DNA sequence: ATATTATCAAACAGTGTCTGTAATATACTA
DNA sequence: TAGTATATTACAGACACTGTTTGATAATAT
């Protein structure tokens, strides 16, 4: 039998991983992310270079550790929001487009941790992190919709598979976040939420006023 | 004056680049893309390894050459389609969702060249190509909308900046293509077009039947 | 014919992987 | 509770490959 399945982590592993994480975070504050070498990280962390590869695939993988941590916190908060708030529309006479709270939480989260999220966006060699975030988002949506369908199976998803819906949403979301960061976050989280909600729920037709057969 | 601005390429360059391109294409057919090394490519192409880096940044950059070539052909065809066909909606009583022709051309193009497009999707180290394709798509949309506004400024783009719209669209599109390829293209280009058109133009509300304040 | 420019081999720091060996945590036993 | 056996981890050293730079050489354009 394996002694440590998910029980406790070996103290050595805890120390090594912790040292590597803090070393990277320190270096990020000192110099450009792309200019940080594995050797530099392991040297500062007082860890053999080969040991690095026992725990992480590459530099991105180590950085991903930080994302996982802060994302888990927000994912927890999001999972406690009832369905109604996700699907609620604001065309209820209470005024124009109001930001959708769950979506707002996502954009606020990114805004609050922009010092981390800007890294994979501006780096040339960190696109795998973006891909990973997109994947996590996709899976969360699939899970959400499947839950929704079991709990409250109102007319939903007639024309498109769940996976299509999720890929569309997550792709658009990640792309918008990338755009937002590249624009130095000139828009507020509320503005981005409202725009995204409008384009995603209402579609290009409602949002942009495109007319059938417009010439 | 520089002798060769866009005039003629040095014959040596032409030969070198051509050799490298065919060498890569040959190797792709023989073994896994990720397992192909630069040394292997240059060796087969009879080119010094250092010479590779005079023309390309990395393996992806060389592969991108192939994409650029086939994408240019399709971009030309797309640019000749009148605005009306892009924005046309099929809620004109002629039946249910019909595939939007320009969008259909895009998905058919990818379907026709799937042996190339599946590479960056299934490879672990080619996400920069996906990013590049997304960027090209974004720029094309911005250009298109700006053109449209000049030629025929009907009520358009009230609530969101062009760049937001373009990022949303291109992100969703690339993500859907990625999903489609990963699903081994079980859906036809027509089906994907119809689904994408529905979700993008009509929005999640129209497409999925989400109701305001649904519980 | 001559100035450009591309190519090349060699060398370098860094990456990612794989050894065998030493260190040390954990689990079991008494 | 302590002591030992077992399983894991950390490590240095070696390896092929990457991406970059150098100066010398050869091909090309004008």
Contacts of residue A20, defined as CB under 8 A and 6 or more positions apart, other chains included, come to: A41, A42, A45, A47, A52, A55, A56, A62
**Mean predicted confidence (pLDDT) in B100-107:** 92
Lowest mean pLDDT among A3-17, A101-115, B108-122: A3-17
Minimum-distance nucleotide, CA of B39 to C1':
D17
| Residue of A203, A209, A211 to mutate, interface with B, max B Cβ within 10 Å | A203
A207–B contact, CB cutoff 8 A: yes
Domain ranges in chain B are 1-56, 58-208
Task: Sort A24 into a burial class: Cβ within 10 Å, 0-12 / 13-18 / 19+.
Answer: buried
pLDDT digits (tens, 9 = 90+) for B130-186: 998 999 999 999 998 888 888 876 665 567 899 999 999 999 999 999 999 999 999
User: Which residues from A are below 8 Å from B200, CB to CB?
Assistant: 168, 203-204
> For residues A148 and B9, what is the distance between their CA atoms, to the nearest angstrom?
60
DSSP A33: G
> For residues A78 and A82, what is the distance between their CA atoms, to the nearest angstrom?
9
pLDDT digits (tens, 9 = 90+) for A23-72: 999 999 999 999 999 999 999 999 999 999 999 999 999 999 999 999 99
Q: Decide: helix, strand or coil at residue A58.
A: coil
For tokens 């949403």, name the residue: A169
**CATH number belonging to the domain at B58-208, selected among 1.20.120, 1.10.357, 2.30.30, 1.10.3470:** 1.10.357
Q: Which residue of B has its CA nearest to A195?
A: B160
A170–B contact, CB cutoff 8 A: yes
> For residues A105 and A51, what is the distance between their CA atoms, to the nearest angstrom?
38
Are A171 and B171 in contact by the 8 Å Cβ rule? The answer is yes
A202–B contact, CB cutoff 8 A: yes
A201–B contact, CB cutoff 8 A: yes
The CATH number of the structural domain formed by A1-56 is: 1.10.10.60
For tokens 């949309």, name the residue: B141
* pLDDT confidence of residue A156: 56
* pLDDT confidence of residue B214: 36
For residue B82, give Cα distances in angstroms to B29, B170, B195: 38, 20, 22
Interface contacts A/B by beta carbons within 8 Å: 186
Q: Which strand C bases fall within 7 angstroms of a protein CB?
A: 4-11, 14-19, 24-28
Contact B201 A203 (CB under 8 A): yes
> For residues B130 and B133, what is the distance between their CA atoms, to the nearest angstrom?
5
Treating both helix axes as pointing N-terminal to C-terminal, what angle do B11-30 and B59-79 enclose, rounded to 10 degrees? 100
């Amino acid at each position: 039998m394996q002694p440590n399945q998910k029980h406790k982590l070996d103290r050595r592993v805890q120390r090594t991983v912790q040292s590597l994480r803090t070393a990277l975070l320190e270096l990020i504050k000192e110099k450009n992310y792309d200019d940080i070498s594995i050797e530099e990280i392991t040297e500062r962390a007082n860890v053999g270079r080969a040991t690095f590869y026992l725990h992480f695939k590459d530099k991105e993988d180590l950085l991903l550790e930080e994302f996982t941590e802060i994302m888990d916190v927000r994912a927890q908060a999001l999972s406690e929001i009832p369905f109604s708030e996700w699907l609620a529309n604001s065309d209820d006479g209470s005024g124009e487009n109001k930001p959708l709270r769950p979506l707002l939480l996502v954009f606020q989260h990114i805004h609050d941790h922009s010092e981390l999220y800007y890294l994979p966006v501006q780096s040339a060699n960190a696109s795998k992190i973006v891909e990973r975030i997109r994947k996590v988002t996709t899976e969360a949506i699939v899970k959400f919709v499947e839950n929704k369908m079991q709990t409250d199976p109102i007319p939903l998803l007639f024309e498109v598979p769940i996976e299509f819906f999720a890929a569309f949403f997550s792709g658009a979301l990640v792309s918008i976040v990338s755009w937002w960061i590249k624009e130095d976050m000139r828009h507020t989280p509320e503005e981005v939420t409202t725009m995204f909600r409008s384009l995603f729920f209402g579609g290009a037709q409602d949002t942009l006023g495109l007319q059938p057969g417009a010439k």
